[in-house]
Structure 1
Amino acid sequence: MRILLISSYHPLPTNPARGTFISDRVELLRSLGHEVKVVNPLPRMMKRNEMGRSTLSGVAKAPRYSHPVGDESREVFHPRYFRLPKPSLSIGITNNSLRRLKSKVIQWLGDWRPDVISCHSVWPVAHLAAELSKQFNVKWSLTIHGYDFDVGIKSPQTKSIISLCSSADQLVIVTKSHEGLAKDMGLKSDPIVIPCHAEVGSEWEQSMRKPHRRWRRSKLEILFPADPRRPEKRHLLAVRACAELEERGWVVNFGTLKQVPRELVWDRMVSCDLALITSERETGPLVARESILCGLPVAGVDVGDLASWLPARCISTSDTPSAIADAMERVLEGEVDDFTVPKYYLPEQVGLQLEKLFTLLQE
């Protein structure tokens, strides 16, 4: 099957950590035998505007075309659209700018024609997906990864988001927590849940490690598996929780992950003692599943779907440094035999769900 994937996020040459969940999805689809082409529209912006959000890093100077892992056959197209630094001031202009990208994408595709279109994230790139769906007379799915429902739905872009969600032939959500909100939008069909799959390189995948050191007399390596510049990750809360551990006699070495390639992320996961998650909003988080696959125990706040599959002792009773420190101690001093990633999140199961989705869209 020929699939055209359109997404707001995708790794860039100077920011390999950006949107890795999208490149993972692309590789999963290709492993299933599908022919996938990727379009990653980027806003026109100046270098200084990248400072507003870490996910914008590398956007200003990104090339028109990129080639993951140096493979010319896997070219990613990065067309540019207009958007002001404050998107709320240019909603209409941005929407029209995305629609006008249709001709550029068609030119890039040449004689290649998709059987289905898969769009990831809503505003503004879903406007392009909707236009191309009409042009090629094919159905399209729209996948919500969190931001559009957690933040965007409360922004000036609300009307555009609801309109695009209701116009898609199939809405896909990655967490059941968004199911209620999606059903209130007057959709063409009920939303389906397909999570982002969890997978790490075979060199890094290992069984859970039980600490054998004398914790309060040797250094404890705590990993904050996120970019500390992103406010929703609540880096300061994690720092305060680690400070609370130190007050209790632990020796803590606290490390973060700031815009690094996946291989370095997994290197850190296999070398640390505990992953700490303090995010304010998440749909996964995916890093929790990757940590467990790398043999790294996880502790954190009740966010996303963590509480549905992690052992109860891993989840703090409140979002306070003291409660988070309690959760970390419970994990460090307990067993690790019950840490496992449900099959629901593994490539085989997610792949089956994707096959059903695209078969449905072709009917």
Structure 2
Amino acid sequence: MSLPTRTQVAIIGAGPAGLLLGQLLHRAGIDAVILEQRSPDYVLSRIRAGVIEQTTADQLAQAGVAERMHREGLIHHGFSLCVDGQRQRIDLSERTGGQSVIVYGQTEITRDLMAARAATGLPTVYEASNVTPLDFDSPHPRVRFEKDGQTHELACDIIAGCDGFHGVCRASVPATAIQQYEKVYPFGWLGVLADVPPVDDELIYVRHARGFALCSMRSRTRSRYYLQCSLADSPDAWSDDAFWAELRRRLDPQAAAALVTGPSIEKSIAPLRSFVAEPLRFGRLFLAGDAAHIVPPTGAKGLNLAASDVGYLFEAIAGFARSGQEDELAHYSTRALARIWKAERFSWWFTSLMHRFNGEAVGFDEKMQDAELAYLMNSDAAQTVLAENYVGLGL
């Protein structure tokens, strides 16, 4: 297998951020090579989010990969909050001038991007090991990696670090050059994917004395449900029957009666954290997506933030390719972080509002949650703020 030795942009990571960036660059006539340490099947096996903001949908259309999403995705004009058994619908379209979201799984977006890249024969190196970004503090960066027992080097103008929270790109930055902000939440989400019809036409976010729950979906026949759980829990400790019984306890009577159960096809526990790295540029190395930030999934912002990073980074790289000047590259970090922190604030607030933090005891924090939720459930202004943040604040 002959591997390229020179490209304009070396993209590390073949998740949705790296693949979307590669597709946008290709359509702009800019060469890019993608390096990924895992296999294509492994990349597609990762179960992730599925609520797509309009700005993300627009970027996928710009990349030429939105046709299946528009054909199969579910347009949602609202969602429900269920607080201690009482449900309140938040009308997104009414409160945001007609905006909505699309429910379409991140796995399917990744599949569409992979297919588009394969169809054009663009170079993606899967199962590349020991990937190392080098000389990114100079005008001549390069990436060293191993493939099939051979060491290779890829010379480039730009390195895009789209390799996730545990990736090599952020870890390659000197500790003195980066500031990291993090909040780790004292609980996780137990998620189940099942081929059963959703309990409702729209998502239901549940705040209950026993803990948070979320009723979501991937299609009209495939559902994704979550329960707040202890970080000490194991998916193996939860039988399907135990999961469905606990979910039913946390739902309002109408949803509990409508819940259709069935065997799980995937079950996992995800920890929750808020994380931001600053800055996002280190010479010719740029961080995007989970390499740059993590949000708790409560606000459905993870994939959408990655897409907005990619949008800003694509514009910066395209400007640099046209002019040879680094002005737009210099602005990437500031532009991306301004949107990142707004989404971090919303995800932190929504997570703090809907989850149990102190066990069974009712303390000051729970009383503040009660007061905030009572205001939210009865205030047009508060519901408008929630709706505006949920559909996305734009680029």
TM class, shorter-length: 0.3 to 0.5
Choose between structure 1 and 2 for higher RCO, CA contacts under 8 A separated by at least 6 residues. Answer: 2
Greater share of strand? 2
